[in-house]
A and B are shown apart, each in its own frame.
Chain A
């Protein structure tokens, strides 16, 4: 008689359901493509409703009644298409709204939803984390009434509110004219457009933007509309200060000839283009490179969206600013890359090669448009040079420009993370989202190098503050409180303890 055969532990080779972080244009198009391939992706989104920031939907209830044409203007068709795409696959997706992905390590995401944390192992992850406004500080920028351009747009489309009665629009980028146009159309007085770019730069770069004549024409339409209604438009402007004690009363600004003017307003909307939300890619271990166009460290991705970490894909503005149209294409392309890799590693149907070729062709065209955009709306590097030592650069903890410059000039900090440790710039609640660009530029100048020469501000979990009341799942008997972070394929009974508890 044979001895009993010991049980063989078979490692789990089957992939887990793909996980997508972000339900904006990139995340939704990625999910749509994965569902079409017969998969059931998990879609994690911090917002209550899908659409991302650009196609953000009004809250449920209310009721909110404005039609999409009023909310999204010339982009209403695109917004509606993206919303409908997600609605159509809703029943085939594990959709998790109001959920923050606050850490990503060793093949698992840590989530927070309704005050409870959960660890979600993944084998394939698409990060479509989007972007927020890039800003530089000026005296008075923390006064009530100073908001980001993107935030000012959120107030209008998501809440039906303007950030003031008479609003000054300051900065550069496609959003500057768009949001001013939307405010004027909503009946709000626009105190002026204070564009940091010289007019000739934009006019010359407009030639390059003719690669995308529709986008170019929209910009011209907004400009013409604002001009026709008598909105003052000033070019090559730098802010001097926002005045006020308890709230904004005026914007003082300087023109190219150095003349100062005081413009009364009760709000300032400021933005210098967008910056990518890269924290999760950082924590996932993705390799970064300095991107000269975005003046920022970005996670590396190939043309299809593969990061340096197998199984982690990047799509949309979260890994380089290219706008919503590109995000839709990149989201679908990243999902196809994921499917290509699944077919290679686990068998399965090959992907639609013609569709891949079509997406690759269109994404190449958008890269050229992106270069033209960066030429049309250049980052005003001299603004950073001119920040006075007593200007607060860290909104979270009130650290000044002088403090940061000092640790550079004294040789105490040769790179940004050391400067962070010494000054706490980048260590506050925003984790450097609002001050990172400033700190990088200031430290680079103090050290006599460029923004690529001071290293990269590292992300730390949790990437956003967690409420103290957060519920940590209680461990099963015999299990420690530490989360099981072994790679999913080696995990014998993942989550078993916790699921028994539940």
Chain B
């Protein structure tokens, strides 16, 4: 299920957020990308190819990891840190 695998730094504080309405946990210092991909295997569906995407470069260049929150806010998942109470979506096909 999870795309990213934790191999170190597991002693961090737990952060609680929701992914597609489901309550899940991440760790303080996780990016939104890490938080989502340790709880699932995609960030979004491509609006052009109807295919799952999970980011690519992890350093703010490819712009493939923009995700949406339940309130419609857009976040670049590799450059935004997870915070308690975030409500993130990975199941929507979205256009911009």
Contacts and interface: CB of A to CB of B under 8 A. Distances in A.
Interface string A145-167: 11110111011101111111100
Given A150-B57, A151-B58, A161-B5, 15 more contacts: A53-B59, A61-B13, A62-B9, A62-B13, A64-B9, A142-B64, A144-B41, A144-B42, A145-B41, A145-B54, A151-B55, A188-B7, A246-B52, A247-B41, A395-B62
Give 5 closest A-B pairs by Cβ, nearest first: A160-B9, A151-B58, A144-B54, A398-B48, A429-B63
Contacts of B41: 144-145, 246-247
A154 B33 CA distance: 12
A134 B73 CA distance: 30
B56 A160 contact: no
Nearest to A59: B29
A395 to B, nearest CB: 6
Interface residues of B, number: 44
B90 to A, nearest CB: 10
B7 A162 contact: yes
Interface stretch (A195-203, A224-232, A295-303, A461-469): A461-469
Interface of A: 46, 48, 53, 58-66, 70, 132-133, 142-148, 150-152, 154-156, 158-165, 186-188, 246-247, 267, 277, 392, 395-398, 428-430, 433-434, 464-465, 467-469
Contacts of B73: 467, 469
Given A58-B29, A159-B34, A161-B38, A154 B59 contact: yes
A58 to B, nearest CB: 7
B92 to A, nearest CB: 16
A156 B4 CA distance: 10
A397 B64 CA distance: 10
12 contacts: A62-B9, A64-B9, A64-B12, A143-B51, A144-B53, A147-B55, A164-B5, A186-B8, A247-B52, A247-B54, A267-B3, A396-B64
B58 A160 contact: no
Contacts of A159: 4, 9, 29-31, 34
Contacts of A64: 9, 12, 29
Nearest to A71: B8
A162 B74 CA distance: 25
B5 A165 contact: yes
A142 B51 contact: yes
B48 A144 contact: no
A46 B64 contact: no
A336 to B, nearest CB: 29
B63 A397 contact: no
Contacts of A132: 57, 59, 61-62
Nearest to B58: A151
A267 B7 CA distance: 15
A395 B3 CA distance: 19
Contact of B49 (A144, A155, A392, A464): A392
A409 B10 CA distance: 54
